[in-house]
Structure 1
Amino acid sequence: MNTLLLFYILPITIYINCVYTANSDEIQNLPGLPEPVKFRQYSGYLNATKGRHHFYWYFESEQDPQNAPVVLWLNGGPMCSSLLGMFTEHGPYTVDSKGIKLTMNKYSWNKVVNIIYMESPAGAGFSYDENYPEPLNDNNTTAVANYFALESFFDKYPHLKKNAFYITGESYGGVYVPMLANEIFTRKSSINLQGIAIGNGLFDWSAADVLQVPTLSQYDFALGHGLISHGFYQQKISSCCSIDQDNKWKCDFLNPVNKTKCDSVKKEPVSIMNLYNIYSDCHLDMEPVNGSQYDPFYNPNTTNHKLLKQAQNTNQPDYCPHSGHKEYLNRADVRQALHVRNDAPKQWSAYKGEKGYTKVLRNGSQTFVDLIEKYRIGKILVYNGDFDSICDFITDARFVEGLGYRYTEEYRPWTVDGKPDGVEGGFVQHYERGLSYLTVRGAGHAVPTYKPEAALQILKALLGYTKLNPDEILSLPRLDEPIKFRQYSDYLDSTTGRHQFYWYHESELDPENAPVVLWLNGGPILYI
């Protein structure tokens, strides 16, 4: 009888314990909220590798949280807190400059998904290693720790494990995101990983000083935006690069053919207030947008470093926003509400420097190819704000192109609202096997900060909720004369797994108000 009783009680005990663990992380009263929110939120710690605990903040979707996709967000750095992305990019809240009042963000990603902001690796933000006050990390150990932390999350929220899962990030997330995806597939996890998205990513870290010594693409970017003269560009290329048998420039500025000649080219005195957005009128915050440390290819004695130091004591224009997230997260009542442990760092900061982090040097192309070819990942989306000089759009476009996949359609503009005559968001190139690359017009390094509506549209495209480029037919073979109406064609999703082709023609007379007619031929199937 006792054995039989234990058989029935044990599963119930385990279930109650799982529910209790998740609910114990629920945020009951968040300081600074002017009104009750329409979603649940949780924060606390996820167990990573031995002795390591990653802080997380999880927001349920405002729409059907039981079934909505689950998205993980990772900021870069390395060693940058993902709460920076939460407060300044696409989280539910923004915070005033004094760190007192929270305001709802109408373009928050939790409008459509369940989203996790995880601080990684140990030592970033509120995350910690109980054995080492200053933990040592590298690309590989971080990928493994992130994997175990993620499994810990789904142990806390087992009802979400069936949901579609996506990994997103930016900057050094170009290392974190694909390596974590690879770890999930390699370990044959039951996590339902469907795709990844990376904004302004660093994908090739094969050079020891990849963020210190510019690449050819970065020189091309600088020339194209008028940041350097054509004379300087020509002299630098001719002094540092060689031409291969296909008459293509091969430039290794870290180890040039003639280093003495290459280093002799005098740098130009160029001033840029914000390397993360070259057209911003606001000074670069001394705490970097994503934690990247960047030594520009302009003359440091006359420009950026001096200018940025002066910026600390310079009043910003009134329209330059300042987020008080650092002040907010260091409040005692906020730390208590977020369940921050006593073992966590005493002071939260967005970026603590790269001390203790070793970058394992290699090109990330093979990881992408493995995700596509070996593991058949559903979707990979790479996007770039085109005003960023840190991880510029030319570098990333060439990286994606170098993966060797065929185009599935022409390079074309995409619109923020998905309408053919809507606001242009940038340009998109779709490749086979679910690979896409796009630019975001007028955005800097952290795309959602500058273009939040466009960023939300990109997320919806990753999920398959919308299309980045309209279905309009721009050219039709054998059409000998211009037409007086617009036409569109593509597929409409019907029942599960079924897609019905359509061809739609606008009326030549007042298409905005004209009746809409659907035509169906008969058959069924055999007759037309």
Structure 2
Amino acid sequence: MLIGNGCVDDVLNQNSLAEFNYNHGIIDETYYRKIITKCCNNDPDNCDFYTMTRNESGYCYMETMLNRFLAQAQPACAHYNDSTVYLQRQDVRNALHILNVVPPYQSCNDRISQDYDQGASHIVSQLENVRKVIEANKTIIVQPKFKMPLTYLETLFDEGLDFLTIRGAGPFPASSNEKPKETLQIFKNFINKTEYDTPVSHDLPYEPPQGTVTPPTPIPENWDADPFLIKNLPNLDEPMKSKQYTGYLSVSDTKKLFYWYIESESDPDNDPVVLWLNGGPGCSSLEGLFMEMGPFR
């Protein structure tokens, strides 16, 4: 499913992080209420995290600013590291079958990302070709094979893609000041494969997750064991829609790669497998799984 004009405004993204993380179970209700009390003057509808230092609530940012490097964490109101805090919780590690020998989760290895030269290998590989072009006194000209005059606009779509317009909405129909309920209705009916005019429920009461925390699993002698089936995830308020597995793959005698495999929700036996490798050099793909384009988004 493609979404035109995806909302990437940094101010909106920053100001919606706390609400997003709460609604997705990354932070619990107690923590969310503390945010609203301490950082928003008990007014969640007018809480501008982006310009927090301009108002009285900005002190909650400054309180941790001086110690952020010692604490190795973002300020309390930033919420850039909520997924990291969630994945460091012991009950979450137990649910994911993370062995005790594995150190606490970190979203990025700064040393790798800072020292990585993204363009070096490509530039070096092309130096010889550039030298030959210069010595031959040649100029490279690209001539397209096909010329298509852009003198018209046409809307084209095929099977599996529906073209809809939300009347009265602007470029960001899901935002609170446009048509969020109508947008949600479209998404839910698309996922459920029902008619788009089918009414849907918009407001659901919060119900704390139930369950007990399982004790840590002893470290096995062979890490390359069968995949571990995840039965539940802390703070997840609804049943898991597909089977999920975690495990380790051998890279060398001393290094292992952790993987999180999530089956397709529609046809796991026939649907293709997508390998998620976003995150950039030195960063974990779990950030994309939770915050960007993964199934928990």
- Fold equivalence (TM over 0.5): no
Rg (Cα) greater in structure: 1
Q: Would you tell me which structure has more strand in proportion to its own residues?
A: 1
- Report the TM-score when normalising by structure 2: 0.29
Q: Would you tell me which structure has more helix in proportion to its own residues?
A: 2
Choose between structure 1 and 2 for higher RCO, CA contacts under 8 A separated by at least 6 residues. 2
